A and B are shown apart, each in its own frame.
Chain A
Amino acid sequence: MAPRNRGAAEPAGRELLSAGDVARTVARMAHQVIERTSLGAADAQPVVLLGIHTRGAPLAHRLAGRIAEFSGARVPTGVLDITLYRDDLRRRPTLPLGTTELPPGGVDDQLVILVDDVLFSGRTIRAALDALRDAGRPRAVQLAVLVDRGHRELPIRADYVGKNVPTSRTEEVHVQLEETDGRDAVLLQRTENRA
């Protein structure tokens, strides 16, 4: 699993998405969600957004905001920390736990849309599915990611993708958000000194 950057601003790389690009991408994703789930329609099934800690959480809130703007529907939003479900804990020093707060009303019988910043190996999502399973029984689970950078190690795919960014294994994709990093951007960086 890729390390989850917790907040510190990364050194500069090549900018893939500017702040404006990020905003437009999120808006487009919101429209996609509304369309596919028929949000706002009278007989629409209930949907909740669950952001994966760290950056998935503010992304989920932004999506909820855009969705409310475009459709009038208020989507309950929560945050899921997957630290306890990671498959690589033994190899790292102790990680502090992030907050898990299920959306008001829980996840039972809901369509849960997991939200994350970058989809890479798929292990984070797999851990999120395990965590979700212990939290309740959703009717269905979908996945929304801002960036899909390829190199899946598990049979996992996103339902809503903000941007597809083909990368090599020696590169890293860093998403920066106002809420966690002070600005919006998506950066591509070479990992020359990766051990």
Chain B
Amino acid sequence: MFTYIIKRILLMIPILFGITILSFGVMHMAPGGPAEAQMEFSSKASSEARERLRILYGADQPIHKQYATWITKFVTLDFGVAFADGRKVKDKILQSLPITLTINLLSLGLVLMIAIPIGIMSATRQYSLLDRFTTIFVFVGFSTPSFWLALLLIYLLGVQWGVLPISGIQSLGIDGIEKWSWRWLLDVGAHLVLPVFVSAFTGLAGLSRYMRNNMLEVLRQDYIRTARAKGLPEREVIYKHALRNALMPVITILGLAIPGIIGGSVIMETVFSIPGMGQLLYQAVFSRDYNLAMGILVPAAFLTMLGNFLADIAYAFTDPRIRLR
């Protein structure tokens, strides 16, 4: 087991290296560095000023030197400053992370609450009317362009009926209200309803289908037949024997969902004008803000890998065949 863990940790190093090289390389391939992106609007800026900015950002150095400078700082958790406003990347991220995290944790909670029962029910009653209905329901969610649904809901609920706020995370006059008071919570909560609902609905299919297929697979196992044969009530067979074994892989794929969540946040936060990580990344890409973009991507990629790593370790604990391979 110990050697397996060590091997698995060593495997993460080239992946992490690859992630930094690929994201760094792709961003630097783009024509026009941060200096050009910043000066685009002031055509009067002299080439001299431009050159000074380039030197300031280190953009005059060859790319491998820029990468070396960046990564030596990065491993000491120094993410540098954002080119756009000179603020620390770490501060910018810490400011917008709670917003994105709140929305996605709420929507993940909603998804788990719906997907697991749906998965169990449609597996235990495969091809029943209920199974067909939930299949269509989750596939409709999966096939819906999230921004389109968001747009229609904003129009209907926000503009036409005026029951929900349509953008941002709090009302304009909210600053006077005490944080964490009931009125504040209610206001922020109302702003979160649409983003959370839309991302939960469009993200439901993955988990519920995965749950259904795992459950179908488990229900065909010998130990389930044994449990039934020794006369256990069906409830106990399904919720005690089958569910536990079917749930495990579902928990472990959550780590792989992180890149998708960031990608989804880019779109959701644009539609609802929410100042979160997605918007930050979007702005970083377009202003060629390497420090900011890498500061978001690399920790996210690291978390994804960590999720995978923990999942593999958990598997190896339960299944000795894996660690012997």
A and B: partners?
no
Residue numbers of B with Cβ under 8 A of A are none
Mark A residues whose CB is within 8 Å of B.
none
